[in-house]
Amino acid sequence: MRLVIARCTVDYEGRLTAHLPEAVRLVMVKADGCVAVHADGGAYKPLNWMNAPNTLREYDGLWEVTNPKGEKLVITMHEILADTTHDLGEDPGLQKDGVEAHLQELLAERPHVLEEGMELIRREYPTALGPVDMLCVDASGRTVAVEIKRRGEIDGVEQLARYVERLDLDPRLAPVRGILVAQLVSPQARTLAEARGLETREVDYDGLRQIESATPRLFEL
């Protein structure tokens, strides 16, 4: 990961245009190519960013980040205060708590709970950004990425959106639907999901556990 602290201005051209006036900011360049511009505040969300895959070109005092969609992020470096690179190594990924892990297991055994005709392709389907909880196929044959949370919040929607964007780059899978599954989905997450073209589902964890306990098992005594 490369971390640059600089006095800079930022301009974005794409679905809309945006301008950040000159100020000191943190620019992060991740190993997968993601570029994010942060202020010293505003919690975890960057002021502007470009998800991978990207092409980063550095000129004298200027960075130009472009992607296959034709979007462009231009960072003009007026003064670089620090520029460091760190090898973070392989990340093991987020370990789910007991409820999320069990919920994933229950849904993998009965994906039709989410939608009639839904079938599981694979659990923990790998991507360059981390594994998708479940990769499924719907009744029409379309690929579906399913991300499972105990509670569906905005960060879960953002995570799912990144997965779907990444999976859509594979012509064997595209176009990919995305479904955020949780015991409870917040109104803010539901609104953001709709805006991103994603879907949400609320599931009854206790009800699924009852179905599991009532299911006869081979050699069960």
Check residue 219 and give its pLDDT.
41
Q: In the 8-state DSSP scheme, what is residue 70?
A: S
Return d(Cα 34, Cα 36) in angstroms, integer. 7
Structural domains in the chain, sorted by start: 2-85 (2.70.180.20), 98-214 (3.40.1350.10)
Q: Tell which phi-psi region holds residue 93, choosing left (phi > 0), alpha (psi between -120 and 50) or beta.
A: left
Check residue 16 and give its pLDDT.
81
Check residue 93 and give its pLDDT.
55
Return d(Cα 184, Cα 207) in angstroms, integer. 14
Question: Mutual orientation of helices 187-195 and 154-167 as an angle, nearest 10°?
Answer: 20
Q: Are 82 and 73 in contact (CB under 8 A)?
A: no
Name residues of the chain where pLDDT drops below 50.
213-221
Q: DSSP H helical segments within the chain, as ranges? A: 98-109, 154-167, 187-195, 205-214
Contacts of 38 (CB under 8 A, 6+ apart): 25, 26, 27, 28, 46, 47
Check residue 167 and give its pLDDT.
95
Identify the CA nearest to 39 among candidates 21, 17, 23, 57: 23
* Pairing verdict, β 48-50 and 35-38: antiparallel
Tokens matching residue 44: 């975890």
Residue 176 CA to its chain's centroid (Å): 13
**CA-based radius of gyration for the chain:** 21
Check residue 179 and give its pLDDT.
96
Q: Are 85 and 1 in contact (CB under 8 A)?
A: yes
| DSSP class per residue in 20-53 | EEEEEEEEEE-TTS-EEEE-S-STT--SEEEPSS
Check residue 217 and give its pLDDT.
43
